[in-house]
């Protein structure tokens, strides 16, 4: 790898670091004054995707990669809320990603663009699971906000639940809805 290749890859790494500071805007509509960051969401989406992939018997590493990368475009276009998407037209995510990784060495650019393209197409079993992980993570976050007293998030829970495709995602959603977000604190090691 040349210095130019390394600098190009580092440019992408620096850019996605902005996601640690960028907030998820939909939660502001729900009245959450300090919502999670896009990076927070992507991290738990990747964990959720790994769990779902294992439950569905698909490639967990591929799912986790798609989950980590699925919102990286928001460094350039922002996190447009569901209602905002009615009024704002943006470039498709695969094109944004291609621009983001244009300075990266080809193996890096190809890895990232192929994962984003697969996610956006939503056709492969791994992409279906990754997209379910995105919706399921949003549902779980809404449940956590609801358990903290936010009463305006039920539509997020309902809409995310309705969008799930896999049986495992439906089972996890049901467990989340019936569960307690802090039960892990008080449970024994095998509970």
Number of domains in the chain: 1
**Within-domain flag for 191:** no
Average of per-residue pLDDT across 134-142: 98
For residue 168, being part of any structural domain is answered with: yes
Asked whether residue 190 is assigned to any structural domain, the reply reads no
| Per-position DSSP letters for 4-38, written without gaps between them | HHHHHHHHHHHHHHGGGTPBPTHHHHTT-SSPPBH
pTM score: 0.94
Confirm whether 49 is domain-assigned.
yes
Contact criterion met (CB below 8 Å) for 36 and 144: no
Q: Output 189 or 29, whichever has higher pLDDT.
A: 29
Domain assignment of residue 167, yes or no: yes
Least confident range from 42-46, 51-55, 130-134, 147-151: namely: 147-151
85 pLDDT band, cuts 50/70/90, is confident
Provide the CATH number for the domain around residue 68. 1.10.3210.10
Inside any domain, residue 119: yes
Q: Note down the domain range covering 80.
A: 3-184
- Give a yes or no: residue 97 inside a domain: yes
**Residue tagged 């984003």 (tokens):** 116
Query: Among 60, 92, 71, which Cα is nearest to 23's?
Result: 71
pLDDT of residue 91: 84
pLDDT digits (tens, 9 = 90+) for 163-172: 999 999 999 9
- Dump pLDDT digits (tens) for 107-130: 999 999 999 999 999 999 999 999
Residue 138 located in a structural domain: yes
Torsion of CA 141, 142, 147, 150, to 10 degrees: 130
In the prediction, which pLDDT does 161 show? Answer: 98
């Amino acid at each position: 790898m040349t210095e130019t290749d390394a600098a190009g890859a580092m440019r992408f790494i620096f850019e996605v670091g902005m996601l640690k500071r960028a907030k998820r805007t939909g939660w502001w509509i729900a009245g959450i004054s300090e919502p999670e960051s896009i990076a927070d969401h992507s991290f738990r989406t990747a964990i959720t995707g790994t769990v779902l992939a294992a439950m569905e018997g698909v490639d967990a590493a591929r799912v986790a990669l798609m989950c980590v990368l699925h919102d990286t475009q928001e460094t350039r276009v922002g996190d447009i809320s569901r209602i905002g998407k009615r009024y704002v037209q943006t470039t498709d995510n695969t094109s944004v990603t291609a621009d983001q990784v244009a300075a990266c060495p080809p193996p890096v650019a190809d890895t990232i663009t192929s994962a984003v393209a697969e996610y956006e197409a939503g056709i492969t079993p791994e992409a279906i699971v990754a997209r379910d992980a995105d919706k399921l993570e949003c549902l779980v976050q809404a449940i956590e906000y609801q358990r903290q007293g936010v009463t305006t998030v039920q539509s997020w829970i309902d809409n995310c639940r309705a969008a799930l495709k896999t049986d495992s995602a439906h089972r996890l959603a049901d467990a989340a809805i019936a569960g307690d977000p802090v039960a892990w604190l008080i449970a024994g090691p095998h509970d």
